[in-house]
């Protein structure tokens, strides 16, 4: 699956131009056209900045478009590699492994809730080397940051599901290729997050996105229901439907998106306060009906005659390279317990007979070079080379023969990736928090580890407990998707005399499933960070003790009300008095110095 330099369709312009990029191919992970001159430009601009020849603000704008983001630590960067619809090849996992090994001090790559890979703590002089190296495998960081169209997420099971009307993957590729480097989307008031779901189960969670699509068919014609104006962060909103149907093959879904972006780009009043400059703010102010009227008016403009909206579809037949039934396959010898639990939670039968999709549960989204290379080998041997990342920071292997599931589990287990419990209570989600983010308040990754260890020690076997989802973010912005967790947390602090304790604000009752999105209700108590695992245990035991027969956690939370949850942990919310005995509560998880709120200016809004 090497990237091809031979164009499958004739393209206009010189080689290396936007119209005729050096590398573009219909292979998962090769969606974004690559222009190698951009790497030379990055080298040049980085050298000028380090030499004091370029203003920092101007350089920040430049590097953000190349997916290079400043960290809270001085002189190092986070690099975000985009994986449209999460598609990735074995060769690309090996490229990620090599980059993590060479350029990151912690020797790991991080899977995000946007289906990206991130590298942390990369020195600026190495950034251009890294993005150049990954491009050899067809990977791109272009517009991974900045006020652009960010990575386009999708359902990792698209094309495999029994209820889908059609596979949206080709149209995701067309959307990505249309808007990357598009002049309208290079300096909008804020970023645009896009999702394509595969069916009405809406696993891509359309409601929390700036713009989102759900497949529809009308009179035999493929199209999408189009939603605009969702988002979490400090002003959570659920995206309303802009159009019940927009055409797919005729490119109407692209044309209307561009009309939305053109309107959004002209809202100069939004640029005054970048923290509240998302498209959801515009729609919240004027309403979806008024916004639709503006879109209809925009579509009458001369610009529509200047565009070719025919989508450059991503066309790739995975089934053609799916593995054949094996001649031999291993089977459990003795106790099947662990393997059977893994199959129950991590394996989904595809609609194609004999094939399964296998979720690799990636703890906290972190993968070592050895694990990345091991998974790449597994993909070649057992999945025809097909995998996609998941917004829960996991990896989904596609087209795995059901006969080889034990072989796959045994190999994953040897890599430290054979854990069961995917998308269950132990599969906790978090953003990097103060490990790297300028906006982070608390160590959300440290809390994630502490919660996971507590839950694994408790080993709840109750199926309704296992279905509870727990997410956390290191600040109110919501990169850890705490708003849509059954139990969610965001980082905060508590003053205790002349000292400060790391703390979290809890949300209860959020969820996103089967096409419905509900944001959790914020509790009126702040919990010191070191007491959060205790609070979770109390809430789960309260549910077990007080639930009605057949009542799941969400139904119980709604019936019990937030006061019951607050009362259960009210004593835990009391700040400690600073002393040698309580010193640990004034130190955040995975830290060894007293806690301080140290928050820089985020670059998302630059």
Over the range 246-278, which residues count as b (16 or more CB within 10 Å of their CB) and which as e?
bbbeebbbbbbbbbbbbbbbeeeebeeeeebbb
End-to-end CA distance of the chain: 37
Measure the CA–CA gap between 19 and 200, rounded to whole angstroms. 36
User: Are the CB atoms for 8 and 26 separated by under 8 Å?
Assistant: yes
- Token pair, residue 431, equals 């953003």
pLDDT of amino acid 6: 30
Per-residue pLDDT, 304: 97
Strands of 149-154's sheet in order across: 149-154, 192-196, 211-218, 221-228, 241-247
> How far is CA 418 from each of CA 85, 362, 412, rounded to the nearest angstrom?
24, 9, 5
From residue 606, give the alpha-carbon distance in Å to each of 146, 187, 259, 271: 7, 9, 23, 10
CA distance 348 to 366: 23
Token pair for residue 53?
A: 């020849």
CB proximity list for 111: less than 8 A, separation 6 or greater: 117, 118, 362, 365, 366, 367, 389, 393, 394, 395
Nearest to 445 by CA among 487, 491, 392: 491
For residue 329, the model assigns a pLDDT of 81
Q: Cβ neighbours of residue 459 under 8 Å, at least 6 residues apart?
A: none
Q: Report the run of H or E that residue 217 belongs to, with start and end.
A: strand 211-218
Distance CA 191, CA 63 (A): 15
CA distances 297 to 251, 255, 578, Å, are 18, 13, 62
Alpha carbon distance 400, 100 (integer Å):
27
**Residues 6 or more apart in contact with residue 413 via CB below 8 angstroms:** none
Q: Match domain 429-586 to its CATH number in 3.40.50.300, 3.30.390.30, 2.60.120.10, 3.30.413.10.
A: 3.30.413.10
Please state, as a whole number, how many other Cβ atoms lie within 10 Å of the Cβ of residue 136: 16
pLDDT at 605: 60
Residue 231 · residue 150 · CB < 8 Å: no
CATH for 336-414, among 3.40.190.10, 3.30.360.10, 3.60.21.10, 3.30.70.3340?
Answer: 3.30.70.3340
Which residues lie below 8 Å from residue 35, measured CB to CB, with a gap of 6+? Answer: 16, 17, 18, 21, 22
Tokens of residue 265, six digits: 């780009």
pLDDT at 166: 98
Question: Nearest-CA neighbor of 388 among 61, 161, 201, 225?
Answer: 161
Residues of the chain below pLDDT 50: 1-9, 14
User: Contact, 86 vs 112, CB < 8 A?
Assistant: no
How far, in Å, CA of 195 to CA of 211, rounded?
7
Distance from C-alpha of 186 to C-alpha of 179, rounded to nearest angstrom:
9
Angle at alpha carbon of residue 186, lines to 238 and 234, rounded to 5°: 30
**Whole-angstrom distance, CA of residue 81 vs CA of residue 118:** 6
Spacing of C-alpha 598 from chain mean position: 25
Per-residue confidence (pLDDT) for residue 19, from 0 to 100: 60
Q: What is the pLDDT of residue 601?
A: 76
- pTM for the whole structure: 0.94
CA distance to 74, 89, 231, 242, per residue, from 283 (Å): 38, 38, 11, 10
Which residues have CB under 8 Å from 136's CB, separation 6+? 3, 95
CA dihedral 377→381→385→391, nearest 10 degrees, is -70
Distances (CA, A) of 391 to 112, 153, 350, 595: 7, 8, 20, 30
Hey, where are the domains in the chain? Answer: 336-414, 429-586
């Amino acid at each position: 699956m090497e990237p091809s330099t031979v164009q499958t369709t004739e393209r206009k312009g010189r080689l290396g131009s936007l119209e005729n990029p050096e590398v573009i191919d219909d292979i998962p992970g090769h969606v974004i056209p690559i222009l190698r001159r951009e790497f030379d430009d990055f080298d040049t601009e980085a050298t000028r900045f380090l030499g004091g020849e370029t203003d920092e603000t101007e350089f920040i704008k430049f590097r953000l478009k190349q997916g290079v983001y400043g960290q809270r630590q001085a002189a190092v960067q986070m690099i975000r590699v985009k994986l449209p619809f999460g598609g990735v090849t074995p060769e690309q996992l090996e490229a990620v492994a090599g980059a993590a090994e060479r350029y990151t001090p912690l020797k790991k790559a991080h899977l995000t809730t946007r289906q990206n890979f991130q590298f942390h703590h990369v020195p600026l002089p190495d950034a251009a080397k890294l993005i150049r190296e990954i491009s050899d495998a067809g990977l791109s960081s272009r517009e991974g940051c900045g006020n652009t169209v960010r990575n386009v997420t999708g359902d990792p099971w698209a094309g495999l599901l029994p209820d889908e009307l059609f596979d949206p993957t080709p149209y995701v590729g067309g959307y990505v290729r249309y808007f990357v480097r598009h002049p309208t989307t290079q300096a909008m008031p804020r970023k645009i997050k896009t999702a394509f779901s595969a069916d009405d189960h809406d696993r891509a969670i359309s409601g929390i996105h700036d713009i989102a699509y759900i497949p529809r068919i009308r009179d035999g014609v493929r199209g999408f229901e189009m939603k605009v104006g969702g988002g979490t962060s400090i002003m959570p909103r659920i995206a309303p439907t802009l159009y019940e149907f927009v055409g797919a093959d005729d490119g109407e879904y692209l044309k209307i998106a561009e009309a939305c972006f053109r309107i959004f780009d002209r809202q100069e009043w939004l640029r005054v306060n970048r923290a509240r400059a998302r498209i959801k703010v515009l729609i919240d102010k004027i309403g979806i009906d008024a916004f639709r009227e503006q879109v209809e008016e925009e579509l009458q403009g001369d610009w529509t005659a200047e565009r070719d909206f025919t989508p450059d579809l991503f066309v790739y037949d995975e089934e053609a390279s799916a593995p054949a039934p094996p001649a031999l396959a291993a089977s459990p010898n003795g106790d099947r317990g662990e393997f059977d639990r893994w199959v129950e939670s991590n394996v989904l039968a595809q609609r194609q007979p004999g094939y399964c999709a296998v979720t690799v549960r990636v703890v906290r989204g972190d993968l070592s070079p050895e694990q990345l290379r091991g998974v790449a080998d597994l993909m070649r041997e057992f999945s025809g080379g097909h995998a996609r990342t998941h917004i829960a920071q996991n990896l989904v292997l596609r087209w795995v023969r059901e006969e080889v599931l034990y072989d796959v589990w045994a190999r994953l287990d040897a890599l430290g990736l054979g854990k069961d419990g995917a998308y269950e209570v132990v599969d906790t989600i978090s953003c990097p928090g103060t490990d790297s983010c300028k906006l982070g308040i608390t160590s959300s990754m440290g809390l994630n580890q502490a919660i996971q260890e507590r839950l694994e020690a408790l080993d709840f076997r109750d199926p309704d407990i296992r279905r509870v989802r727990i997410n956390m973010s290191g600040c109110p912005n919501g990169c850890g998707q705490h708003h849509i967790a059954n139990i969610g947390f965001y980082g905060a602090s508590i003053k205790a005399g002349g000292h400060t304790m790391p703390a979290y604000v809890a949300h209860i009752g959020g969820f996103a499933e089967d096409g419905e999105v509900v944001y959790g209700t914020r509790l009126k108590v702040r919990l010191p960070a070191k007491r959060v695992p205790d609070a979770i245990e109390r809430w789960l035991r309260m549910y077990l003790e007080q639930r009605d027969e057949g009542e799941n956690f969400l139904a119980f939370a709604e019936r019990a009300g937030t006061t019951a949850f607050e009362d259960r942990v009210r004593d835990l919310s009391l700040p400690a008095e600073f002393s040698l005995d309580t010193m640990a509560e004034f130190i955040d998880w995975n830290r060894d110095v007293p806690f301080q709120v140290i928050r820089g200016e985020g670059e998302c809004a630059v």
